[in-house]
Structures are given as structure tokens and as C-alpha cells.
């Protein structure tokens, strides 16, 4: 617009200027608005614009605050930042172009990087931008990219949730909802590693149900399933959330009690579990009576706790409980190995 005169601007016509520059502002030398582009008019909202003082409509922020129209000439050719005092208080960017002969100046404005918010806030369309302005096309591409990235993120979240659910299912006993052998093995390896570094001791309890076979033989497998779910409930009640409980066989359970190092205390926990298991469980009006034999070993019994050896020692301690009459808890003391159980125990 170098060399533009007021006569040139008048010759082009304000409507044509508005089509070329939908966000232009024509200001007279005394600071009054003479003409305004249609998009800028939409931003300013209701109320008269023609004849309004420029400084009543806008606050100039950069390159410095503008307090008087006498200083506007100093902004010639510079990029300025203004904020609308009406409506949404939108911040706009633009450039001042003086008209020849001291006839005022024209300011052509744009949204800059805030165009997406402006389109949303003012419900702008393609018609609100100059025909040569690629803003709408770029905005469309940005929105498409955002939509695609949103869908990809949602897909990733669904895949991650499916993966987590699949992993949880692979580590869970379907009947009782407890961990399975795979889950126990992972936790026991982790616990042994920490204990070997002196970062936490634990107790390992092996529980084998007594008289469970009789329940299955007399009342059927549905009764047996009910008993197993009730056993799982007892174990949850008698342990903490930080402990690990797993069903590792038909009627075999293993409990990893973190932080437990006292054999007497662990034996009392085992006795309490057995006492709860011996409460009759009703199935279709018929009592199902079971008990439990528990074998225990402690990580502190080992110079370097080994998952396989601890499994074996807790298992053998369970056989000792069965040999000694069932319904009891035996703690392996680390000095000898319990005898094998009698057949049919």
C-alpha cells in the first residue's frame, strides 16, 4: 500500500477494501473510525463504529502503549499489537500504513496464532477471510490433524486398556479372582530380590484345604466352587492389600505376607485363617465342612532367599501339618526338612 492516498482509497471503495482486507480499519487524522472491514465489524459486536474514537475501541500494547493519536505516526510500517475493548477482548496483530498528505492511516489486522480460538468464539467462516488468505485452509488442516491425533490417542488408550485387561486376566484365577501361579511367581521373585538386598523381609504361607475332596464327591463341583470362592474371601479378610494371595492349584493357595518376620506372629495368622475356614459353608441348605493345613517359611531363614527353595520348604511344612493331624500351621525353622506325608493325607 505504499503511496496510497485518501483519493485512492475512496476510489477503490470501502466495500472493495473490505473484500480484500476483511479486518482493515480506516482512521482519520483526528483518530475517528472512517471505515471498517466486515470481519472486524463482526468482532466489535453491536454498536456504532463509524465516527467512534480509535482509542475507545482498541488498546495498543506494542510496540508501546498509545495514549494519543499524535504518536501514531511513529508506528508507521511497524507491527503492532492491539486488544479489542469490546466483546471477547480479542488480541490482534497488524501494521500501520499512513495515507499520503496526512489524511489518516489504515490498519490491517489479523488473528495471528489465536485464529482457531477466534473462529470458535466468533463463529467465523471462510467468507470472513480474504480470498487469498490461506488461514481457513491451514486451520482446516490443523483441525483434521487434531481430529486424527485425537482418534489415534483414543485408539492407543483403548489398546492400552485392552492390553492391561489381557495382562490382568492372564495373572488372575478366573474362579476366585485371586492371582494365579504366574502372578505369584512374579511377586515372589520380586520379593526375594528385595529381601536379598535387605530391603524387605516376608513370610510365605502354603495352604492346602482339608476334606475338600469330600465336598466335591458328596455335593458336586458346584459346591466345591462355592467353597473355593468362600476360601478366597476369608484369605482377603485375613490379609492386607499389600500382601499377595494366589490360587496355585485345585485347592491350594499361597500367601505372601510382606514385612512379617516373627514366626509366632505368622503362626497366629495361620491359626486364625484355619479357624475361619472351619466355619460351615452352606450349599443348597447342606453344610460344607473343610479345614486347612498351612506350611510357612520366612525369607530371613535364607542367606539369599530363593523362590523355588522357599516354595519347596513351605510345601513340605504343609505336609508336616497334614501328618500331625491337619487343621494346623507349621513353620519350617530352617534347620531340618519335614517328613513326607502319608498317602491319602
All three cell numbers of 234: 476369608
Chain centroid offset of residue 217 CA? 48
List, by residue number, the catalytic residues: 251
CB 267 within 8 A of CB 301: no
Cell of 46: 453491536
d(CA 216, CA 242): 32
What Cα–Cα distance (Å) separates residue 14 from each residue in 43, 185, 202, 204, 295? Answer: 18, 81, 85, 88, 95
Half-sphere exposure of 19 (CA within 13 A, CB side): 5
The three grid cell numbers given for residue 178, joined into one nine-digit string:
485371586
Contact of 205 with 295, CB cutoff 8 Å? yes
User: CA gyration radius for the chain?
Assistant: 41
Provide CB contacts within 8 A for 71, sequence distance 6+.
none
Backbone angle region of 13, left / alpha / beta, with phi > 0 → left and psi within -120 to 50 → alpha: left
Nearest CA to 81 out of 59, 61, 57 is that of: 61
Name 256's bridge partners: 204, 244
Whether residue 331 contacts residue 297, with contact meaning beta carbons closer than 8 Å, is answered with: yes
Amino acid at each position: 500500500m505504499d503511496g496510497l492516498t485518501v483519493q485512492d482509497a475512496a476510489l477503490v471503495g470501502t466495500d472493495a477494501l473490505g473484500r480484500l482486507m476483511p479486518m482493515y480499519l480506516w482512521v482519520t487524522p483526528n483518530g475517528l473510525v472512517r471505515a471498517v472491514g466486515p470481519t472486524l465489524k463482526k468482532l466489535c459486536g453491536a454498536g456504532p463504529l463509524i465516527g467512534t474514537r480509535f482509542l475507545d475501541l482498541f488498546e495498543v500494547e506494542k510496540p508501546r502503549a498509545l495514549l494519543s493519536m499524535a504518536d501514531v505516526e511513529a508506528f508507521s510500517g511497524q507491527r503492532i499489537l492491539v486488544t479489542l475493548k469490546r466483546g471477547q477482548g480479542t488480541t490482534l496483530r497488524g501494521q500501520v500504513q499512513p495515507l499520503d498528505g496526512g489524511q489518516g492511516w489504515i490498519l490491517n489486522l489479523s488473528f495471528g496464532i489465536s485464529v482457531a480460538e477466534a473462529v470458535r468464539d466468533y463463529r467465523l467462516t471462510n467468507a470472513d477471510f480474504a480470498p487469498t488468505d490461506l488461514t481457513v485452509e491451514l486451520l482446516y488442516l490443523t483441525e483434521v490433524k487434531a481430529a486424527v491425533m485425537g482418534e489415534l490417542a483414543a485408539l492407543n488408550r483403548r489398546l492400552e486398556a485392552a492390553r492391561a485387561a489381557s495382562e490382568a486376566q492372564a495373572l488372575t484365577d478366573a474362579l476366585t479372582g485371586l492371582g494365579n501361579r504366574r502372578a505369584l511367581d512374579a511377586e515372589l521373585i520380586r520379593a526375594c530380590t528385595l529381601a536379598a538386598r535387605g530391603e524387605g523381609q516376608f513370610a510365605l504361607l502354603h495352604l492346602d484345604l482339608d476334606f475338600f475332596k469330600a465336598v466335591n464327591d458328596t455335593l458336586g463341583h458346584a459346591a466345591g466352587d462355592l467353597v473355593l470362592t468362600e476360601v478366597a474371601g476369608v484369605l482377603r479378610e485375613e490379609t492386607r492389600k499389600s500382601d499377595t494371595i494366589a490360587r496355585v492349584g485345585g485347592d491350594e493357595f499361597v500367601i505372601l505376607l510382606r514385612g512379617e518376620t516373627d514366626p509366632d506372629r505368622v503362626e497366629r495368622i495361620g491359626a486364625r485363617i484355619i479357624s475361619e475356614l472351619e466355619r460351615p459353608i452352606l450349599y443348597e441348605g447342606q453344610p460344607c465342612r473343610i479345614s486347612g493345613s498351612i506350611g510357612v517359611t520366612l525369607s530371613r531363614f535364607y542367606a539369599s532367599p530363593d523362590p523355588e527353595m522357599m516354595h519347596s520348604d513351605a510345601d513340605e511344612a504343609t505336609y508336616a501339618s497334614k501328618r500331625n493331624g491337619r487343621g494346623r500351621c507349621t513353620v519350617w525353622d530352617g534347620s531340618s526338612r519335614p517328613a513326607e506325608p502319608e498317602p491319602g493325607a
